[in-house]
Amino acid sequence: MKRTIIVLILVSAFVIFYSLALLAQTASDKKAEGEVRELIIRWEKLWNENDPSALLEMYHPNAKIMYGWGHQKSTASKKEYEGILPQRILANPSLALSISKMDVQGEKATVVVDMTIKGRVTLVTFEMIKENEKWLITAFKY
């Protein structure tokens, strides 16, 4: 009888501890998802405001950024993209993003969006990492 009570207490303590850990993880995941969502919203806003310098601040120093269309598609480093971005914004001054899928795993995130430019919808993937309490884009591809 004494052994059964001890086992029940231990099992109950484990269940309570596990439930609290799950609640804490869920709250942390929701916070990270909110931060990532805000980054996407900010990226769209800065593009539409024609602010290339602020957009570039959102990219990780080692980011790989896709640009161009069709056979002209290429990937640039953040440094290379500095000279490309102003032209890209001028060619496409207005766009809209709609998040279709978000996967946040700790300090990394992948977000797939429908990007609409001039009535044309393209699936775009943002890959991100959180460094020093800040989310940064490590890859932009379509």
Per-residue pLDDT reduced to its tens digit, 20-55: 444 455 677 899 999 999 999 999 999 999 999 999
pLDDT value at residue 61: 98
pLDDT value at residue 25: 52
Give the CATH number of domain 2-141.
3.10.450.50
The answer, as to whether pTM is greater than 0.95, is no
Contact 109/135 with Cβ under 8 angstroms? yes
Rounded Cα–Cα distance for residues 51 and 67 (Å): 17
**Terminal CA-CA length for the chain:** 64
Contact 110/122 with Cβ under 8 angstroms? no
pLDDT value at residue 8: 58
Instruction: Name residues of the chain where pLDDT drops below 50.
Output: 15, 17-23
